[in-house]
Structure 1
Amino acid sequence: MVAAVRDPAYRDGLALVLGSGLTSVVGLAYWVLAARLLPPAAVGVDQAALSAVMLLGGVAHLNLTYALLRFVPVAGRAARRMVVLGYLVVVLLAALVGGVFALGAPWWAPELVAAVGQDRLLVFFGLATPVWALFTVQDYVLTAIGRATLVPLENIVFAVLKVGLLAAALTATVTGAIAVSWMVATTVLVLAVTVWLLVRALPRFGEEHTVAARPVTLRELGRFVRADYAGSVCQQGAMFGMPLLVLALTDPAATAVYGVVWQLAQTLFVVSSGMNQSMVAHGAADPAGADAARRRTVGRSLRLVVPGAVVLALGGPLVLAVFGDHYAREGAVVLALTSLAAIPYAVTSSMVGAARLRQWGRIQFGVPAAAAVLVIGGSVVLVPALGLAGAGLAWLVGQSLVAVVILLATARWLPPGLSGRIDAVRSAGLLRRVDSAAAHLRLPEASAWQVRRRLAGGSESVVAVIGPDDGPHGALLKASDTPRSRDGLAWQTEVLDRLHADERLGRLHALLPEVLGAGDVGESYCVIESLLPGESGLHALRDPERTETFVASATDAIERLHRCTGRIRVVGDAELRAWVHEPLDRVREIVPTVLRQETHWLAEHLDAALRGRRARVGWTHGDFGPVNLLADSDGRVTGIVDWCEARPDGLQVLDVVVMSQFCVVHGTGGPELGTLVQRWLADPPDQVRRAQRRLGGDPVDPRVLTTLGWLQHVAEVARKSARAAANPVWNRRNVRSPLRRARQVLDRGVSPAQPEDPPVRA
């Protein structure tokens, strides 16, 4: 826990949550005072007016809150200019939006006009909307410059000032005392914080972060704001538009109850929002870590939200009794339901935050839009039938449904049938988004190219055949929209370009795809490769008449690559880090704590077995198996594909070891990899020894090479697919069991009689 608090993202998140919590405590006194001294109808009208200001302020700031949070940390000296321009846009647009709302209030808020009057509404909304919009934006600016710890102080001052001004307004019998005291307090805080930011804080921040700064283009900023703004409007509509909806569906007294309930329940929602803000601010420099940051943020939010939601759900009547019998009688059920809705909101808000880091516009819009439609639409249907409880039920059901979809889509592991369907939906959507890749990448006559058929697709990528609809020629389209897979495709593009430029390969060039085009298409990275002849090597492997020819042809092809590019090198720190220690670091992350000592022992043993020996090092494929080979009708290899794991200085014998392993695993009736590895550790096959002799160098224990081949594969699975690595069955059979057996065999030099797991057909 102490280590977690030292994390700047967690510390700033706690500061934001603490600020909201302290504000809520003092805010209770504010609303208790208002509820005790004013009739429910008056409280309801002012609540609706303030909610309208908050909604309009959210619409007017164009969600520059998260845009500044995302880009100010990397703007350097340009940070102050960026904030000033943002403030000017917010003020002008908020004043316009507030005035338009007030002028049109007779049509969309006649209850407010009847209670307050048209002229007063125009003055109030024209002034209050820009002030509230700036008040919202400035907390995000403070977080962006690493001053989130000041937010609690600001909010405490705001809350205390509100209480004092409300007491003064009630004493002076000011009409609309709640709204007036609220907005005067807001104005004082906005002026004070803005002057400090522009005069001292932002200039100092810009000087301190000049080295790490990068240019932020208007196009990049505009693309972020466009998608995020639409989603933000939907979220603001659900949070701050509901009092207006309740007022239209019920009466001012019921609106007062809902307003008090929302003030209580909102304290739980802002916990997730605060953690989310901190995640975006601290993750701006590392968007690739968005998934891990999202999972941490959800856990940290739930540790605070769940206890609070349970307390409010069970103790709602007692809490609401402080405001008066009317509030306790009418609001207990809706408070319980709305408070529980804050639990799934921790999931939905963190998903939007991760999308902000990655600039995934569809997620930034889709998640809050779906939740808003369910909440607002559900309220329209349920409130007339169930009263205020219908609004709480709409919140709980709407947030829960969206959270369930997110959890399924991002689960580290799901049963194969379910995960396959989810992956199919996701890859189909990705393919639709990149179906114009040929035109974007300026391929000749690309306007006539279409997607012919999808060949593969997972949770992060898709592969499809594209080409002219009426022609025999085509190409292969690969696309991905996650940082990890994008990096893999970009590396494969570089590998193929380098191999094709290497004259030593000669006729081997015919077996390698040629990159026809590569680059960003929207939010995805796409590669278009030449389409090589032949069918999947799996078919040739499983055809008894072609098996022998296929295996011999594949071995010959990869060994020609090894001979052309390899050289004998003494194994040192760099090689051992790449072949042993980094792969074992990844394996260590996916095994139970009790097995991590095994990985440390294995690292030491493999290091000692290889260090100082002469080995043949050069280009390796890294995942050389039947799945990544093409073959003709006779079984001869016609293509070697999928070079994402290739390395220019790999241990070349491992390509042959991996090929030998997967020819057994993928053959008809073959065992799983873990079972095969355990067998080979007991009795290494001759082909491992022969491969060493053909490549040259010092001989290495075949059991060590068997272990390295297994390690290379499972480490890449852990790197590429958290979902596959988290599969408990796959992990036990293919990671944990071979890890234990490798320790036993290599340490004691004994051969186990039977593998730990029975053979399982592929």
Structure 2
Amino acid sequence: MSDTSADVRGGKDMSELDERTIPNGAFADAGSERFDGAAAPAGTGSATLHEDVAAQTAARPTGLWSKLVRDLRNPLFRNGYALMANTAITAVLGMGYWWLAAKLYDPADFGHGQAVITAMRLFASLTALGFVGALARFIPLAGRRTPELIVRAYVIAGATGVTAAVGFLLTLPWWGPTYASLGGFGQGLFFLASVLVWSVFTLQDVTLAGLRKATWVPVNSLGYGLVKMVMLVGLAFALPDDGIFVSWIIPAAMALIPINIFIFGKVVPRHVKETKTTSAPPGLPEIGRFLAGDYPGTFSILAIVYLIPVLIAAQVDEVTFGYFSMAHTLGCLIELLAMNMATSLTVEGSFDRDALAANSRRALRRAFMIIIPIVIVTIAAGPFILRVFGDGFADRGTLLLQLMALAVLPRVLIEIYLSGLRARGQARKLALVQIGLAVLVLVSTMLLFPHLGVNAVGYALLLSELAVAALIVNGLRKMLNYGKTSQSSVASGS
């Protein structure tokens, strides 16, 4: 029997226990009854045994710590918490990075750096984000085809991103003066290389999550974030015009080598060995059918995260875009927390579909437990958070940040629902929800922008995600309650 099979069953057993309501201390007396009086082993005093049992009970973790320890034994929460920790590390180091950038670089150079990074991430993610759902869905089942699946994703994502970026460079006059600096041969070539690097860098995290090694994702982000900040400071004097963009991409390129040596040299061989007998590897037709339904929807979500900022950059000056981008970046980090737990749910749903409904309920509870306090703090402290970067950031970005933080609450419901659809392979419905959300956000942003400026993005996100959450709530309820009715009927019949 493979270790993975044991892990899956162990996770399922823990999940089933967690779903029941067991009063604290329900089994606390079992040990003392077993060793009372004559039942005690020869030569051992009852009082001594009671003291030992009491000492062991006192030593056990209780309350929140006990819950956390139990959660970390469950791959669903272990991977989900690791990805959330990664988001927290990214947020803290990101705020430090952008604070340094705001202090060391001219406001126009700050906005220009943000705009170029946003464009690079747009093209790098064109296919990379499309493979996020597929890798989370199929790596757990890929068996001996795991290396082939990962390499194909890397190659296709990189090639597609670079091709799209070439088209962008050839049409630079259409994108306004903010991107004019990319017209030179050297700058354009570096931009294309950065798209290729970021495509692979994007897929590393979900690859580790699919291999149930998401605990290494925060380690990678910590190293990347620290090196990025050091390079930012050094380039402020050596390369003031492009230092932000260069310091962003060079550490990512440096991180590719050790992480992929770890993935392909150690983690993948172990995964192949553990899963080769658990299921038949998915074939290319099956993966293709999934991507055919999932990618259009993922591409739509990509438009919300990356295309809208590029469109805003083409409409406003570099200084205004710098103010917008800082608030938008922080808002997206909070939204990413909802996606983190959903990614873990997709992985575990692929390992064990029978536990999908129960895992969905747990993921939803944990996600809200973590995200609601963060949303409240962000709304209340938004002006003070942004004022750290400068008065202009707070004056022009506070409302946008608050609206985006509030929009994360309905987004949690949407992401859990989408994750369940991915785990079940319901690609058509998955695409319908995502495309609908993207169309609502893009159209409402364009309609509101002439009247509300950059804050139109926040209003568009909030209104659109509330509308979609209301439309999918019935389907989400069915997914969360799947299996409960039949179980209750069996119990009543018995």
Same fold (TM over 0.5): yes
Letter in 1 for 2:221: N
Instruction: Indicate how the Cα distance of structure 1 residues 288 and 483 shifts in structure 2: closer, same or farther if over 3 A, else same.
Output: farther
* 1:73 pairs with 2:140: yes
Residue correspondence of structure 1 range 251-330 to structure 2 within 5 A: 251-330=317-396
Letter in 1 for 2:133: Y
The CA deviation at 1:241 is: 1.5
The aligned residue for residue 180 of structure 2 is 114
Residues 102 and 118 of structure 1 are in contact (CA less than 8 Å); yes or no, is this contact kept in structure 2?
Answer: no
- Counterpart-to-counterpart distance in 1, 2:373 and 2:486: 39
The aligned residue for residue 354 of structure 1 is 420
Residues 76 and 205 of structure 1 are in contact (CA less than 8 Å); yes or no, is this contact kept in structure 2?
Answer: yes
Residue correspondence of structure 1 range 120-139 to structure 2 within 5 A: 120-139=186-205
* 1:345 pairs with 2:247: no
Residue correspondence of structure 1 range 68-107 to structure 2 within 5 A: 68-107=135-174
Residue correspondence of structure 1 range 47-58 to structure 2 within 5 A: 47-58=114-125
The aligned residue for residue 433 of structure 1 is none
- Counterpart-to-counterpart distance in 2, 1:127 and 1:10: 36
- Counterpart-to-counterpart distance in 2, 1:184 and 1:196: 20
- Counterpart-to-counterpart distance in 1, 2:459 and 2:486: 48
Residue correspondence of structure 1 range 607-626 to structure 2 within 5 A: none
Residues 143 and 278 of structure 1 are in contact (CA less than 8 Å); yes or no, is this contact kept in structure 2?
Answer: yes
Instruction: Indicate how the Cα distance of structure 1 residues 348 and 327 shifts in structure 2: closer, same or farther if over 3 A, else same.
Output: same
Residue correspondence of structure 1 range 538-687 to structure 2 within 5 A: 586=488
- Counterpart-to-counterpart distance in 1, 2:321 and 2:485: 59
The aligned residue for residue 459 of structure 2 is 393
Letter in 1 for 2:311: L
- Counterpart-to-counterpart distance in 1, 2:295 and 2:248: 26
Residues 288 and 483 of structure 1 are in contact (CA less than 8 Å); yes or no, is this contact kept in structure 2?
Answer: no
The CA deviation at 1:204 is: 1.9
Which structure has more RCO (C-alpha within 8 Å, separation ≥ 6)?
2
Query: What is the SS of the residue equivalent to 1:277?
Result: helix
Letter in 1 for 2:172: A
- Counterpart-to-counterpart distance in 2, 1:345 and 1:483: 21
The CA deviation at 1:273 is: 1.1
- Counterpart-to-counterpart distance in 2, 1:255 and 1:211: 53
Q: Deviations over 1:338-358 (max 9, x none)?
A: 111111111111111111111
Residues 349 and 356 of structure 2 are in contact (CA less than 8 Å); yes or no, is this contact kept in structure 1?
Answer: yes
The aligned residue for residue 169 of structure 1 is 235
- Counterpart-to-counterpart distance in 1, 2:487 and 2:309: 53
Letter in 2 for 1:100: G
Task: Quote the RMSD (CA, aligned, Å).
Answer: 2.3
Residues 261 and 331 of structure 1 are in contact (CA less than 8 Å); yes or no, is this contact kept in structure 2?
Answer: yes
Residues 293 and 354 of structure 1 are in contact (CA less than 8 Å); yes or no, is this contact kept in structure 2?
Answer: no
Q: 2:98 aligns with which of 21, 31, 45?
A: 31
The CA deviation at 1:121 is: 4.8
Instruction: Indicate how the Cα distance of structure 1 residues 75 and 584 shifts in structure 2: closer, same or farther if over 3 A, else same.
Output: closer
The aligned residue for residue 9 of structure 2 is none
The CA deviation at 1:260 is: 0.6
The CA deviation at 1:298 is: 2.1
The CA deviation at 1:583 is: 9.7
* 1:369 pairs with 2:271: no
* 1:152 pairs with 2:54: no
Residues 94 and 130 of structure 1 are in contact (CA less than 8 Å); yes or no, is this contact kept in structure 2?
Answer: yes
Between structures 1 and 2, the one with greater strand share: 1
* 1:201 pairs with 2:103: no
Q: Which moved more, 1:291-300 or 1:239-248?
A: 291-300
The CA deviation at 1:585 is: 5.4
- Counterpart-to-counterpart distance in 2, 1:280 and 1:410: 15
Residues 128 and 183 of structure 1 are in contact (CA less than 8 Å); yes or no, is this contact kept in structure 2?
Answer: yes
The aligned residue for residue 229 of structure 1 is 295
The aligned residue for residue 181 of structure 1 is 247
The aligned residue for residue 13 of structure 1 is 80
- Counterpart-to-counterpart distance in 1, 2:440 and 2:106: 32
Letter in 2 for 1:204: R
Letter in 2 for 1:227: G
- Counterpart-to-counterpart distance in 2, 1:193 and 1:403: 37
Query: What is the SS of the residue equivalent to 1:265?
Result: helix
Letter in 2 for 1:180: V
The CA deviation at 1:122 is: 2.2
Letter in 2 for 1:252: E
The CA deviation at 1:288 is: 4.7
- Counterpart-to-counterpart distance in 1, 2:450 and 2:365: 36
- Counterpart-to-counterpart distance in 1, 2:136 and 2:325: 29
Query: What is the SS of the residue equivalent to 2:368?
Result: helix
Query: What is the SS of the residue equivalent to 2:289?
Result: helix
The aligned residue for residue 336 of structure 1 is 402
The CA deviation at 1:116 is: 4.2
Letter in 2 for 1:387: G
Q: 1:383 aligns with which of 419, 444, 449?
A: 449
- Counterpart-to-counterpart distance in 2, 1:99 and 1:410: 41
Unpaired segments of 5 or more residues in structure 1?
413-458, 460-481, 485-581, 589-598, 600-710, 716-762
- Counterpart-to-counterpart distance in 1, 2:184 and 2:471: 44
Query: What is the SS of the residue equivalent to 1:63?
Result: helix
Instruction: Indicate how the Cα distance of structure 1 residues 78 and 39 shifts in structure 2: closer, same or farther if over 3 A, else same.
Output: same
The CA deviation at 1:284 is: 0.5
Q: 2:112 aligns with which of 40, 45, 60?
A: 45
Residues 357 and 482 of structure 2 are in contact (CA less than 8 Å); yes or no, is this contact kept in structure 1?
Answer: no
Q: 2:474 aligns with which of 394, 408, 412?
A: 408
- Counterpart-to-counterpart distance in 2, 1:58 and 1:116: 19
Give the structure-2-normalised TM-score. 0.81
The CA deviation at 1:102 is: 1.6
Between structures 1 and 2, the one with greater helix share: 2
The CA deviation at 1:86 is: 2.2
The aligned residue for residue 4 of structure 1 is 71
Residues 338 and 367 of structure 2 are in contact (CA less than 8 Å); yes or no, is this contact kept in structure 1?
Answer: yes
Instruction: Indicate how the Cα distance of structure 1 residues 333 and 210 shifts in structure 2: closer, same or farther if over 3 A, else same.
Output: same
The aligned residue for residue 61 of structure 1 is 128
The CA deviation at 1:72 is: 1.3
Residues 154 and 199 of structure 2 are in contact (CA less than 8 Å); yes or no, is this contact kept in structure 1?
Answer: no
Letter in 1 for 2:118: S
The CA deviation at 1:70 is: 1.1
- Counterpart-to-counterpart distance in 2, 1:6 and 1:62: 29
- Counterpart-to-counterpart distance in 2, 1:584 and 1:41: 62
Residues 103 and 118 of structure 1 are in contact (CA less than 8 Å); yes or no, is this contact kept in structure 2?
Answer: no
Instruction: Indicate how the Cα distance of structure 1 residues 171 and 7 shifts in structure 2: closer, same or farther if over 3 A, else same.
Output: same
Residues 16 and 151 of structure 1 are in contact (CA less than 8 Å); yes or no, is this contact kept in structure 2?
Answer: yes
Q: Deviations over 1:345-383 (max 9, x none)?
A: 111111111111111122221222122112222111112
- Counterpart-to-counterpart distance in 1, 2:140 and 2:326: 36
Q: Deviations over 1:727-751 (max 9, x none)?
A: xxxxxxxxxxxxxxxxxxxxxxxxx
Q: 2:311 aligns with which of 232, 240, 245?
A: 245
Letter in 2 for 1:399: E
Give the structure-1-normalised TM-score. 0.54
Residues 105 and 240 of structure 2 are in contact (CA less than 8 Å); yes or no, is this contact kept in structure 1?
Answer: no
Residues 105 and 112 of structure 1 are in contact (CA less than 8 Å); yes or no, is this contact kept in structure 2?
Answer: no
The CA deviation at 1:247 is: 1.7
The CA deviation at 1:117 is: 3.2
The aligned residue for residue 603 of structure 1 is none
- Counterpart-to-counterpart distance in 2, 1:583 and 1:255: 52
Unpaired segments of 5 or more residues in structure 2?
1-66
